[in-house]
Amino acid sequence: MQMIPHSRPTIDHEEVAAVTAVLESGQLDQGEQVLDFEQSLASLIGVGGAVAVSSGTAALHLSLLALEIGEGDEVVIPSFVCPALLNAIRYVRAVPVLADIDRETFNIDVRDLKRRVTRKTKAVIVPHMFGLPADIREIVAFGVPVIEDCAQALRSSYEGAPSGSFGALSVFSFYATKVICTGEGGMVAANNRQLLDRIRDLRDYDEKADDRLRYNYKLTDLQAALGLAQLRKLPALIGRRRALARQYDEFLRENLLPAPACPPDRDHIYYRYVIRTKQVAELLAAGGEAGIAYRRPVFKPLHHYLGITGYPQTEAAFIETVSLPIYPSLHDEEIKTILQHAQPFLMR
């Protein structure tokens, strides 16, 4: 039985040729390819500059350090997100403060966030969940430094402006199954040159004038060449994701079921396609037997890890959502197979 994976990178001869050219050049470590990748992403987002790093988590870590966040400082994040945000906050010995989410968009809830912000709050990390931008303009207006987490939202937009162009800093991930991939890798983008200079200094410890604690967070030219090839295909990759999402949307409408929310002032790139069902465990198990890899969109909310309560919308999302396979190389016939299999489990 051939498995339909939940996610898969889209790689062809262009990426192979780009990586092969770097191998043949002999310049494998951080070099001109990394610089080109940084400049290309900054131009795409419409910001002054960017710094490539070894992962999205490294991007978060260095962003917090650049903002001089440390022990005892509070950083607000949503509970319905992967642990990378929690880990980065712990790296700098800051205090994570969890906020609830909006039930429809799965993004951080602005009203709940407002209640969590205090004089101790030194930053808010705002993930644009599953490819749909959060209410970023309202959040920036709070006056607290905002780190936009665009790991799932590259080339999405809010009110016509690219996600990643609103906050003090924005971070990106290029893990193997992200919107574009470099295997592992990340980026920090910003308009603030001083913040970028701090991050650039911290990502590499060698040949420095002092012994300040720094990190080995560099990206290689091999990875950057792969990223540049992917970046050239980005419009087509996003276009295919949206076409697949339209097929899912049409099926749900025909069956009088709710499609993922997308407010009219923003563009969704459908990194994930999340549905609601009263039979999450049953659908996950049945998918495994049928060769279809459904997943929980978030493996476990952060408030579960921390053993705290008071996040009703996050709890509801955890209990009733499943992420369907969606990636550019997914075939239309596979979509039909997925929908035929999932239909009996969908929430009415």
Q: What is the mean pLDDT of each run of 10 residues along the chain (348 residues)?
A: 91 96 93 97 98 98 98 98 98 98 97 97 98 98 98 97 98 97 98 98 95 97 98 98 97 90 96 96 96 98 97 97 98 96 85
Which pLDDT score is estimated for 1? 60
> Which are the contacts of 220, defined by CB distance < 8 A and separation ≥ 6?
28, 29, 30, 34
Which pLDDT score is estimated for 256? 84
Please count the residues of the chain: 348
Which of 120, 122, 178, 278 is catalytic? The answer is: 178
The answer to whether residues 260 and 132 touch, using CB atoms and an 8 Å cutoff, is yes
Q: Helix 84-91 crosses helix 56-66 at what angle (to 10 degrees)?
A: 40
Which pLDDT score is estimated for 346? 87
Q: What is the CATH number of domain 234-345?
A: 3.90.1150.10
To which residue do tokens 């070099």 refer? 31
Q: SS3 sequence, the chain?
A: CCCECCCCCCCCHHHHHHHHHHHHHCCCCCCHHHHHHHHHHHHHHCCCEEEEECCHHHHHHHHHHHCCCCCCCEEEEECCCCCHHHHHHHHCCCEEEEECECCCCCCECHHHHHHHCCCCEEEEEEECHHHCCCCHHHHHCCCCCEEEECCCCCCCEECCEECCCCCCEEEEECECCCCCCCECCEEEEECCHHHHHHHHHHCCCCCCCCCCCCCCCCCCHHHHHHHHHHHHCHHHHHHHHHHHHHHHHHHHHHCCCCCCCCCCCEECCCCCEEEECCCHHHHHHHHHHHCECCECCCCCCHHHHHCCCCCHHHHHHHHHEEEECCCCCCCHHHHHHHHHHHHHHCCC
- Name the residue among 89, 71, 176, 100 with its Cα closest to residue 125: 89
In the chain, CATH 3.90.1150.10 sits at 234-345
Beta-bridge mates of residue 124: 76, 146
Does the predicted model carry a pTM greater than 0.75?
yes
Into which CATH architecture does domain 13-232 fall? 3-Layer(aba) Sandwich (3.40)
In the chain, CATH 3.40.640.10 sits at 13-232
Which structure tokens are listed for 39?
Answer: 């400049």
- 218 as an active site residue: the answer is no
Which pLDDT score is estimated for 76? 98
Which pLDDT score is estimated for 27? 87
